[in-house]
Amino acid sequence: MNFIRKNCAGHLPFTRRHFLFGAANAGLLSAHADSAVSTGRHATVRNSARTCIFINLNGAPSHLDTFDLKDASWNPRDADIRDYPGGVRMSRRYFPRLSTMTQDLLVMRSCASWEAAHERGQFYMQTAHSQNPALASEIPHIGAVIAREKGANGVVPPFLSFNQTNLQGATFLGGLFMPMMPPASTGGISTLTHNFFGTSVQSQARFDRRFGLLKELDAALREAPANEAMAAYGSYYDRARAMMYNAAVDSVFRFTTDEQNRYGNTAIGRSLLVARNAVRAKNGATFINVTQGGWDTHFGQFDPGILPNIYTLTNELDRAVSNLVDDLKSSGDFASTLIVLMGEFGRTPGVLNSRAGRDHYRDVMSVAMLGGGVRGGRVIGASDSNGARITEFGWSQQRPIYPEDIAATIYSALGIDWTKSIDDTPSKRRFHYVPGSAEGDYVPVEEVWG
């Protein structure tokens, strides 16, 4: 994963092989894409969204300084806390634009996690599974499961991811559903074309001839591959070729300088611009993971001299997400795009710690959603005045909302039966989309839709 981090940071150049194939090795390309799926309870799904943009607030945001804001002594004087219809409370200083869009915002304040360590919490949030060392290497990201369910039917891979270094990936589901992890910049992906031989037409013609020669030389191996991994590589190259010299693909990864500035000219802003383009293009992407790091605010969380801090984190998130919502509304895609904002757990309640920050806390956390059939302008659940314990669950199960329930909600919104499982895994142990869902232990939060 260090390789991915260096490339995303811009220290090493991207090549075509890196962004198309870099995340997949021979084991991950093995053909489990056609594994038999066992249907669980034939659950009734909402099917209210076509695409999910999952915003991973990596580092765990403080619930009581973001979406479960408390009007208390620890807030800075400029927090500008306001109450809005439906019980929504937000800081106009932290979220100057989203606080004017609360009619679209749903906040779940009765969430909790089983984990309080970053690595385990991230794994849990990404997969809806605990990080069992015996099985962790084969548990796929929910984005890969969604990609498998919805199909790799477009020219753009169904699972995209930005800014994430500790991403779980598709594991045994195969390379077809591995996340594509491209850069996000105004110039797009330069390696989609390589116009080094005269005009673009001449360059493409030369590329086509070379690719044709490659297929001729590899014909025997393609027709009778030595193993599943080799067969998977062959099909993966064909899919990668379909992305080359394709204006529809190229436009997904490009945006103007004016758009970049409007979204904030930040990593999350640029990534959500590409996410917007992918949603609008409707050419394959169904799950888009966008990560904003820096939320591990153990010290100086309100100190403007320490970066990042609550001000910078919330302002960057606010600007990028609010413009995303505006643009998706303008194109008519907001209603069919589920936007989820969450981290891996909450932060310690009440007054700040001795270092003017907050530490890890799993008993209470907040999750926000917009679009995709979600009925906004509301809150689900409540915590006490210090954000230390849940006082109202606010939903049918009368217990905390866990990441398993959030995953089930996302699956249901995308028309996927969350109670399904797969038996044909490398370990021969059954993989459940959501553990315990077949027994009804974890379910979608139906109240999300009103």
Q: Which domains can be identified in the chain, with CATH numbers?
A: 2-190+245-449 (3.40.720.10), 194-238 (no CATH)
| E strand or H helix that includes residue 89 | strand 88-91
CA-nearest of 376, 303, 348, 347 to 99 is 376
- pLDDT digit string, tens, across residues 319-347: 999 999 999 999 999 999 999 999 999 99
Helices (H) and strands (E) in the chain, counts: 12, 16
**Other Cβ atoms within 10 Å of 13 Cβ, number:** 9
Round to whole Å and give the CA distance between 77 and 226. Answer: 67
- Cβ atoms < 10 Å from Cβ of 341: 24
In angstroms, rounded to a whole number, what is the distance separating the alpha carbons of residues 187 and 165? 22
Q: What one-letter code names the amino acid at 338?
A: L
Q: How far is CA 93 from the centre of its chain?
A: 26
Sign of CA dihedral 142, 143, 148, 151: positive
All residues at 6 or more sequence positions from 446 whose CB lies less than 8 Å from its CB, including other chains: 395, 396
pLDDT tens profile 369-391: 999 999 999 999 999 999 999 99
Enter the DSSP assignment of 294: -
pLDDT at position 64 is 96
Nearest CA to 125 out of 134, 135, 112 is that of 112
At residue 412, the pLDDT reads 98
Cβ 402 vs Cβ 112: under 8 Å = yes
Q: Which residues pair with 10 in a beta bridge?
A: none
Give the containing element (helix H, strand E) for 150: helix 142-150
User: How many CB atoms sit inside 10 A of residue 30's CB?
Assistant: 19
Of 255, 348, 288, the C-alpha closest to 164 is: 288
The DSSP code for 34 is: T
3-class state of residue 418 by DSSP: coil
- Give Cβ neighbours of residue 112 (< 8 Å, ≥ 6 apart): 346, 362, 363, 364, 365, 390, 400, 401, 402
DSSP-assigned states of every residue in 225-294? -SSHHHHHHHHHHHHHHHHTT-HHHHHHT---HHHHHHTTSSHHHHHHHHHHHHHHHTSS--EEEEEE--
User: What is the reported pLDDT for 194?
Assistant: 81
Measured over all CA atoms, what is the biggest interatomic distance in the chain, rounded to whole angstroms?
72
Distance CA 84, CA 128 (A): 32
CA distances to 37, 42, 176, 227 from 234, rounded to whole Å, are: 25, 35, 11, 11
End-to-end CA distance of the chain: 40
Could you tell me if 178 and 38 are in contact, meaning their C-beta atoms sit under 8 angstroms apart? no
Give pLDDT < 70 ranges for the chain: 1-36, 39-40, 232
DSSP 8-class letter at 449: G
Q: What angle do CA 16, 19, 21 make, to 5 degrees?
A: 85
Place of tokens 């030595």: 226
* Whole-angstrom distance, CA of residue 180 vs CA of residue 143: 11
